[in-house]
Amino acid sequence: MPGEQQLLEDAFVSINGTDISDFVKTLGLTRSREFQNRTSIARLHETQDIGANVRGLSLECFQDYAAGALNELIAPLSRTGEDVTVVWRPDSGPASASNPQYTQTMWIPTYTPEKGPFGDEAMADVTLESRGDEARAVA
């Protein structure tokens, strides 16, 4: 029997220890597997092996160029491609069985610092991809 439906109302997201939750409008977590094509020229049908896990996190954020705000954190990290530590929880409260905390080393391959239609809030898209295993904590 499924549990209660969870609303994403008070999620927590941090990058390198900086809480960016107040900037995040939407968050999307992806988990997939790569497939390695093992088809030789002598085969009539394609053969694939299961490859590595691929994890990603996409964030749509309210842009802020003030000192210490979103752009000051994300822009340099997106230019260098350095590893970042990302932590997220469904709720800003402490980690628990119903509010697991995920920690992962990632990098920022895509940063769109400015987007949106005329007259709307300035938005920024941040895409993060995994560079290691995801750790899940419940306490």
Q: What is the pLDDT of residues 17-30, one digit of tens each?
A: 999 999 999 998 88
Residue 4 belongs to some domain of the structure? no
Please indicate, yes or no, if residue 95 is contained in any of the structural domains: no
Query: What pLDDT digit, counting tens, does each position of 68-109 carry?
Result: 999 999 999 999 999 999 999 999 999 999 899 999 999 999
Count how many domains the chain has: 1
What size, in residues, is the chain?
A: 139
pLDDT at 1 over 60: no
What does pLDDT average to over the chain?
Answer: 89
Is residue 24 included in any domain, yes or no? yes
Residue 27, φ and ψ in degrees, nearest 5: -135, 135
Task: Establish if 75 belongs to a structural domain.
Answer: yes
Nearest to 137 by CA among 93, 104, 95: 95
pTM, to two decimals:
0.81
Q: How far apart are CA 121 and CA 114, in angstroms?
A: 10
Domain presence at residue 137? no
Specify if 79 maps to a domain: yes
- Answer whether residue 6 is part of any domain: no
111-134 average pLDDT score: 92
Answer whether residue 43 is part of any domain: no
Q: How far apart are CA 124 and CA 100, in angstroms?
A: 26
Q: What is the pLDDT of residue 7?
A: 64
Token pair 């402490």 in the structure block, residue: 94
Question: What is residue 111's predicted lDDT score, i.e. its pLDDT?
Answer: 97
- Structural domain range at position 66: 12-37+49-86+105-131
Tell whether the model's pLDDT for residue 33 goes beyond 60.
yes
- Say if residue 53's pLDDT is above 80: no
User: pLDDT class for 5, splitting at 50, 70, 90?
Assistant: low
